[in-house]
Structure 1
Amino acid sequence: MHVVLLGDSVFDNAAYVADGGDVLSALRRLLPPGATATLLARDGATMDDLPDQLVRLPPDVTHVVVSIGGNDALRQFDLLDSPVRSVAEALDRLAGVRDRFLARYTAVADAIRATGRPAALCTIYEPRFPDPALRRTATAALTLLNDTITRAVFARALVLIDLRLVCARDEDFANPIEPSAAGGGRIAAAVARFAARPPAGPTVVT
């Protein structure tokens, strides 16, 4: 078994936790003897960076796990402060963001399926902003993007790891958008459960 982690700082979180508290270290402790895990994910990566990670997949990879899209969402953060004349106009602007996100994420899902390996893709977890109002609106907006991820994953009979359920506690975060050692451990456990018995067809792992 060789599990490869692609994507962003959800997996590449070593800079935000103490030694040994990162997702990769936790995953290696959970995998069975003889199994290995490789980190190709990079802090700050967006969907545009995923092709460069994919070309570096080792030939003996058996499982691919991807967490990408959170930084793409952050690039649209200013939209939450944009003035609008109606709720309908606000929803229309968010729908435009969703449509652009969907077009790019569809390409990601197709590329992952093309690896021919058992694959799981992650939703974007809900940020822990200190301001309750900002946290509430950001979470609501992310629902639209997570819906596109869910649709893209299930349409291709891949596996979904729902990080909204995996990292559901404030202590799962080292800062508003990065997993803590506790959160990283929970993420690693979800990845290990997927790798231990890859489900056939569209399935949710929590």
Structure 2
Amino acid sequence: MVTQPHIALLGDSILDNARYVVAGQAVVDHLRQGLGAGIGCSLVAVDGDTTRNVYAQLQRLPANTTHLVLSMGGNDALAWLPTLNQPAGSVMEALDHLQRIQAEFREHYEALLEQIRLVNKPTLVFTIYDAVPGLTPALRAALSLFNDVVLRTAMRHTFDIMELRDLLTQPEDYSSVSPIEPSEQAGKKLASAISKWVADA
């Protein structure tokens, strides 16, 4: 008997974006509409969650889960904004601060992906997008430190990767309710890319 695919969406508001699409459809709605007959999808992601919260999400995975999709890291980066706004005495001192931020994120992110590896399901990992309207070049550079961790850790576990920096590049991809969140247009793009990944996996 062939097992029907069932996708579990893990992570943050990139996948749990219903409150940011006014009179529109969220990522999970687009995904459910675009999936073939018999293919299921469960939203386990929670708006606002960080890497430390995904362990609880893993406990809520449906028993029939066959594929995992993870979007995580953006809220971890947001938590560091107060530190990033602090003055530094030199460029080297600033880089030292950034290295410590990256090291702490790496510790948490690597531990999370190790736990996800134990689930032993095909896994798609999102990077953190950086085309948010109004995002400064300095903050875009800071996000690259988090994305370096995401990419290297996902590759080490041989997880598949969706590069959101290349997918969500237009101002219309971001919500009018909150510009750091994905819009309905972005939801369609994400759902289409996830559907293709499941079909090809």
Match of 2:196 among 186, 193, 196: 193
Is the Cα–Cα contact under 8 Å of residues 131 and 165 in structure 2 kept in the other structure? Answer: no
Could you tell me which residue of structure 2 aligns to residue 99 of structure 1?
A: 103
Distance 1:89 1:129 in 2: 29
Could you tell me which residue of structure 2 aligns to residue 90 of structure 1?
A: 94
- Judge which range, 166-175 or 120-129, deviates more: 120-129
Match of 1:54 among 58, 61, 65: 58
SS at match of 2:41: strand
Is the Cα–Cα contact under 8 Å of residues 126 and 139 in structure 1 kept in the other structure? Answer: yes
Could you tell me which residue of structure 2 aligns to residue 147 of structure 1?
A: 148
Distance 2:23 2:191 in 1: 15
Distance 2:108 2:171 in 1: 30
Q: Deviations over 1:126-180 (max 9, x none)?
A: 15243xxx52111110001100100000001111111111111111000321000
Unaligned runs of 5+ in 1: 199-206
Distance 2:23 2:122 in 1: 30
Could you tell me which residue of structure 1 aligns to residue 136 of structure 2?
A: 135
**Are 1:122 and 2:126 counterparts?**
yes
Distance 2:120 2:84 in 1: 38
**Are 1:21 and 2:21 counterparts?**
no
Distance 2:70 2:129 in 1: 13
SS at match of 2:119: coil
Could you tell me which residue of structure 1 aligns to residue 67 of structure 2?
A: 63
Moved over 3 A (4+): none
TM (norm. structure 2) is 0.93
TM (norm. structure 1) is 0.91
Amino acid at match of 2:63: P
Is the Cα–Cα contact under 8 Å of residues 127 and 177 in structure 1 kept in the other structure? Answer: no
Could you tell me which residue of structure 2 aligns to residue 35 of structure 1?
A: 39
SS at match of 1:114: helix
Aligned residues: 195
Cα gap change, 1:62/1:20 in structure 2, threshold over 3 Å: closer, same or farther?
A: farther
Distance 1:106 1:136 in 2: 27
Give the CA RMSD over aligned residues. Answer: 1.2
- Which residues in structure 2 correspond to 1:148-167 (within 5 Å)? 148-167=149-168
Give the drift of 1:183.
Answer: 0.8
SS at match of 1:83: coil
Q: In percent, how many aligned pairs have the same letter?
A: 39
Unaligned runs of 5+ in 2: none
Could you tell me which residue of structure 1 aligns to residue 76 of structure 2?
A: 72
SS at match of 2:16: coil
